[in-house]
Structure 1
């Protein structure tokens, strides 16, 4: 047997293996956050401080993430005491029904609070339980039993997830002062009308209102929007020049609504910032005109009968053509023999054309 092979064999299976197995895999134990105490000096080191003992016994606080506490998926009905050093608390997928006042008072530097997949109701959320956390950036409360957005929330908040609840309205003052909020997920609720309650969110970039009961578009939204999702609602009309108020908007999804040709003014989607537009699963009979900068257009599962080139190109030439890369028109009534030959000149950048 070669010397190198023998050394490996002895290290793994030698007579002293039982005594030193933990030492050999000590690196793995440190990564996983586990700790064992031994009186033998073999395991002592001055470079690695002892693991703090303030972590709740029912949770896990890995050594490599000393400011994170994992208490998820453990059938908890309560929130355990959070050590003062923590910044990230994971409590998702439990049976917690409330967030009582003072539960986070010991950990005022929390940055993330993850509580999705529980049974939390508004009646059991302390009045100032979140507003006291002045460094809080993300709150995940999706898939609980909320009937409205918790209030008040700290001004430091950047991301709020309350999808999959029973929220039917957003009071005008519910989001006041959240000037740093960039992402809001309100999808899968029972909203019928948003009104202008979201206008106060000056930095909002991502808004998901999909799968609600909206019959009209929100009256006013922040002009900072970059992504807007309104699919799976009951919207039939888009106000004239509605999307012109969002100079940064790049992604708009309105699939699975009740849009008709009469409900879409002529230049509704002639917005130079738009990159992706989804109007699939509606009741359109014509291709609405879009801006030449648009790259992805989804119109499948409508009632469109004709391919109109001027919906993409007002004029055609060497320097005048559409930037469309992907267009889906399948599930309509367009016949292949009715496709005009100039389509390929107009859509010369297209990689995928499904008809």
Structure 2
């Protein structure tokens, strides 16, 4: 079924389509800005910032020096590769090369269990080899060390002594245990920028992390606490992944020192409320899959530049969401999907992407987006998902076009 929407005077034309998907009635309202026919919005369910970057890089920009790879998990956040810096492929080389030919062609020494590709002379690939220890005799030129998918449970400083210029150390999907990590195993790695240890058995954040670290990915471990001062020297850290752990609180001082942190993922932990004492520099805060049904009015007031906020699957209820809790002019994207909301919460007029699918919303309240309308008073919202609620397109108020003037897509 389809019906035309009249949006005269707004520079918009629209089409409403309704159908059945998976046994559920679904109505899509797609709006096209006639002034900008080539504008696109993110696909349903994909957060706007990462998806825009991915589309830009994958659609016709083959010559760009930086690319992003998402074939491997790496904690759920794509890993950027800067070719100008000589950064290598992050995909396993197993089955992609003839090892005998390669070893005959490469003049540098390489551990027997690993591959040292000649096209990336500072990289050593020892991934998915069933290793229980870090191989010995690593080349002194090693800057990128891939050890994911092994059975390594312990690390000592001597294991990496010969590779003192590491920039990346990737240990995802091993058997690392906190009590088996030598306290100073990374202390001398002064060039290390990326340390990945997702999907291990760590119960605490490793000690004595190098000050130059920019990315620390410790997702899907068993971390239940963060020691005081664990991040005190990490002033250059911009990304910290701690999702899928067992954290219940963030104590004052736990995250002290993270003055440049941009992305913090605390999803899938055991928080009963939005944790306090988070770095105010954070622009991307992910708290999905925690168990709190309400929010404090000042939950996000300390974030001066918060742009992307994820709170899906937290059990949020409308009565526990204060009127002003999302009142931040810096907020670009808000994900409140898969909760128990019965009404649309008040959002800032500057918000551009709002995800409210799979809630219990029954009415479309225009004042949630616009407290008043006028030449300069309107919502900047571009993308709105309301599918999976009990709303229908007939419930849209007649004057919605004066508030949502720049909307591109609404899913109902």
For normalisation by structure 2, the TM-score amounts to 0.73
| Corresponding position: 1:140 with 2:196 | yes
The equivalent of 1:319 in structure 2 is 376
- Between 1 and 2, higher relative CO (CA 8 Å, sep ≥ 6) is seen in 2
Per-residue CA distance 1:108-146 (angstroms, 9 max, x = gap): 111111100101101111110111211111111110111
Gaps of 5+ in 2: 1-95
Match of 1:69, SS? Answer: strand
The equivalent of 1:263 in structure 2 is 320
| Corresponding position: 1:79 with 2:134 | yes
In the TM superposition, residue 30 of structure 1 has moved relative to its aligned partner by 11
The equivalent of 2:272 in structure 1 is 215
In the TM superposition, residue 223 of structure 1 has moved relative to its aligned partner by 1.3
The equivalent of 1:180 in structure 2 is 236
The equivalent of 1:236 in structure 2 is 293
| Corresponding position: 1:169 with 2:237 | no
In the TM superposition, residue 322 of structure 1 has moved relative to its aligned partner by 0.8
The CA distance in 1 between the partners of 2:228 and 2:368, in whole Å, is 39
Structure of higher CA gyration radius: 1
The CA distance in 1 between the partners of 2:104 and 2:391, in whole Å, is 70
Note if contact 1:91-1:115 (Cα within 8 Å) is conserved in structure 2.
Answer: yes
In the TM superposition, residue 63 of structure 1 has moved relative to its aligned partner by 1.3
The CA distance in 1 between the partners of 2:190 and 2:395, in whole Å, is 62
- Aligned match of 1:333 in 357, 375, 390? 390
In the TM superposition, residue 346 of structure 1 has moved relative to its aligned partner by 1.1
5 Å-filtered alignment, 1:27-176, equals 34-36=102-104, 51-53=107-109, 55-81=110-136, 82-176=138-232
In the TM superposition, residue 308 of structure 1 has moved relative to its aligned partner by 0.7
Instruction: Choose 154-163 or 279-288, whichever is displaced more.
Output: 279-288
Greater strand percent: which structure? 2
Note if contact 1:33-1:61 (Cα within 8 Å) is conserved in structure 2.
Answer: no
Match of 2:402, SS? Answer: helix
Say what the alpha-carbon RMSD is for the aligned residues. Answer: 2.1
Flag the 1:33–1:346 CA change in 2: closer, same or farther, 3 A: farther
The CA distance in 1 between the partners of 2:99 and 2:131, in whole Å, is 26
Q: How many residues align?
A: 315
The CA distance in 2 between the partners of 1:63 and 1:261, in whole Å, is 58
Gaps of 5+ in 1: 1-27, 38-49
Instruction: Choose 340-349 or 137-146, whichever is displaced more.
Output: 340-349
In the TM superposition, residue 335 of structure 1 has moved relative to its aligned partner by 4.2
Flag the 1:295–1:78 CA change in 2: closer, same or farther, 3 A: same
The CA distance in 1 between the partners of 2:302 and 2:363, in whole Å, is 30
| Corresponding position: 1:252 with 2:293 | no
Match of 2:367, SS? Answer: helix
- Aligned match of 2:402 in 322, 345, 351? 345
In the TM superposition, residue 35 of structure 1 has moved relative to its aligned partner by 4.6
The CA distance in 2 between the partners of 1:86 and 1:183, in whole Å, is 23
Note if contact 2:231-2:256 (Cα within 8 Å) is conserved in structure 1.
Answer: no
In the TM superposition, residue 339 of structure 1 has moved relative to its aligned partner by 2.2
In the TM superposition, residue 201 of structure 1 has moved relative to its aligned partner by 1.0
The CA distance in 1 between the partners of 2:236 and 2:101, in whole Å, is 34
Note if contact 2:99-2:115 (Cα within 8 Å) is conserved in structure 1.
Answer: no
In the TM superposition, residue 72 of structure 1 has moved relative to its aligned partner by 0.5
Flag the 1:74–1:336 CA change in 2: closer, same or farther, 3 A: same
Per-residue CA distance 1:153-195 (angstroms, 9 max, x = gap): 1111111111011111212222221111110000111112223
In the TM superposition, residue 343 of structure 1 has moved relative to its aligned partner by 1.3
For normalisation by structure 1, the TM-score amounts to 0.84
The equivalent of 2:19 in structure 1 is none
In the TM superposition, residue 262 of structure 1 has moved relative to its aligned partner by 2.7
Instruction: Choose 231-240 or 119-128, whichever is displaced more.
Output: 231-240
Match of 1:184, SS? Answer: strand
The equivalent of 2:284 in structure 1 is 227
